[in-house]
Amino acid sequence: MSVATKHKSSPKSVMEQRAILGPTGNRVRVSDESKRKIEALKNPRRPKIPVSQSSQSVVQSNVSADSSFSSDSSSSNASLKTVSSEKTVKRNGVKPVKAKVAPTADKVVTEISPVTSERLKRCDWITPFSDPLYTSFHDEEWGVPVRDDRKLFELLVFSQALAELSWPTILNKRCIFRKLFDNFDPSSIAQYTEKKMLSLKVDGSLLLSEPKLRAILENAKQMLKVQREFGSFSSYCWGFVNHKPLRNGFRYARQAPVKTPKAELMSKDMMQRGFRCVGPTVVYSFMQVAGIVNDHLVTCFRYQECNANVKKDIKPKIEETERLTKDLENTCLSY
C-alpha cells in the first residue's frame, strides 16, 4: 500500500527580501526594513530605535551644535591649542612665561616666549640636599679673595675647627663664634685670661676641644706680631702666592688635593712663628676659603665669577702702580 508522503516546507523565521543587483554591478541594495530585521536577529538585546526618531534627534543636536559652534569656535580652539602647547613645553623641560594668542580666520597662532629654568651648576660637594646656609656660603664667600685681617683670622679659626666640626655646623654656630671671640678682633682675643679661656671651655656651645680653644688665643697673639712685621696679616698670607690667587681649574672634586707645596711652605713658616694647629691640611683649607687659591671646579658657575672678582681687586693696584711710576719718571726728568 503506497502512502503518499507530503513534503512540508520548513517555515522561515525571517522573510528576507531578495537582493537586487544595481546598475553598478556587484553592489547590493537592501531595503531599510530588511536591515533592521537582520540587525535585530544578530543583536537581540539591542534596543530598537525607530529611524525617524533617531534621525530627528541627530538633526536637532546638529542644529543646536551648529548654532553654538559659530560663536565659540575661535575661543575654544585657542584654549585647546594653548593648553596642548603648555603641556608640550612642560614635557620638554621649558617653563612658559607668557603666551600670546592671535586668532585668525582659518587658524589660531600661539606664540610662546620660553625661558629655560636651568639649575645652576655648583661644585660636586654641594647637592640639592645640602644645608641652605652651606649652599649660600659656597655661592657668596667660599673662594672669594679676602684681604681684611679680621676676616682672615675668622676663616683661619674655622679652618682649624674643621678637624672636629663640619662646615654646616660651623656656619650655624657662626654668630656664637663671633660673640665669644669679640668679632675675631686679635688685639682683644690676645688679652683673654686663663679664666676667660676656661669659661669658653665650660660653655661648650662651640663644641671645640681645649687644644683648639688655646690655639685660637695663641694664634691671636702671633697675628699681632705678624702685623707689626709685615704691616698686615693679609700681606703676610698673600705674599706666599705673590699677591695673586692661584687657579687650579679642576673638573672633578676627586682631583682637588688636601695640601700643596705652597700650603706646606706656609704651614712650616707659621709653625716657626708660634702658630698652633696650622698643619698643611688646615692651611690649604684656609687658602681655599680665603680665595688665596680658587678651587671651584671649572664646571661651577662660581669659578669664573671668582676670577672676575680677582680682576676687580687687582685693577686699582695696577692703576696705582702706573700712577706712581709716572710720578717717579716726572721727578727724574725734573732733575
What residue numbers does the annotated binding site for Zn(2+) cover?
123, 138, 296, 300
Cβ atoms 275, 228 nearer than 8 A: no
State the burial class of residue 263 (Cβ atoms within 10 Å of its Cβ: 0-12, 13-18, 19+): buried
Residue set of the binding site: 123, 138, 296, 300
Cα angle 329, 316, 290; round to 5: 135
> What distances in angstroms separate CA 150 from CA 138, 221, 282, 292, one per listed residue?
20, 13, 18, 16
CA dihedral for 123, 125, 130, 134, sign (positive or negative): negative
Helix, strand or coil for residue 331? helix
Q: C-alpha cell of 22?
A: 544595481
> What distances in angstroms separate CA 87 from CA 27, 96, 100, 117, 139, one per listed residue?
48, 10, 16, 16, 33
Q: C-alpha cell of 54?
A: 533617531
